[in-house]
Amino acid sequence: MTTGARGESTIQLEDREVRVLFTNRALGDAEQQLGRSIIGVSRGLQDGTSGIREIVILLRVGMEAARRDAREGGRSITIPDAYDVLEHAGFAIVTEAVMMAVAAVLSYGTDVQIGDGEDTDPNP
């Protein structure tokens, strides 16, 4: 059974591991909360128009998706929870973990070959 587009990362804190999970649904939720596309946020990390706020929102969404996936129950992950992880792990580590997981979702299926390996050009 295939699991579809999923990206997972683990952030190691002194006292625990924090798992983040992204799926297309989680990225859609993040886009809604951010008010912009995930591609825009990614580009913004390169050009300086995205920063801590965007990473914290993505981190919260990823932590919440991981919590639901694990069926752990309990309360939902909050923005203060995400800031706590950011404070303990640091911006660079959190950003790398979050964006690697996001990239796995965005690139899902790019390694799939269509056809039987033969030239599939419909206009030879």
- Tell me: the pLDDT tens digits for 80-104? 999 999 999 999 999 999 999 999 9
Rounded Cα distance between 43 and 74, Å, is: 35
**Residue 112 resides in a domain:** no
Q: What is the pLDDT of residue 38?
A: 92
- Residue 113's CB is within 10 A of a number of other CB atoms, namely 7
**Residue 118 resides in a domain:** no
| Closest among 91, 99, 79, 11 to 52, alpha carbons compared | 91
pTM to 2 decimal places:
0.84
Q: 3-class SS at 118?
A: coil
Count how many domains the chain has.
1
Q: Which domain holds residue 43?
A: 6-106
Q: What is the pLDDT of residue 15?
A: 94
| Closest among 108, 80, 71 to 19, alpha carbons compared | 71
**Residue 1 resides in a domain:** no
Phi, psi for 68 (deg, rounded to 5): -65, -40
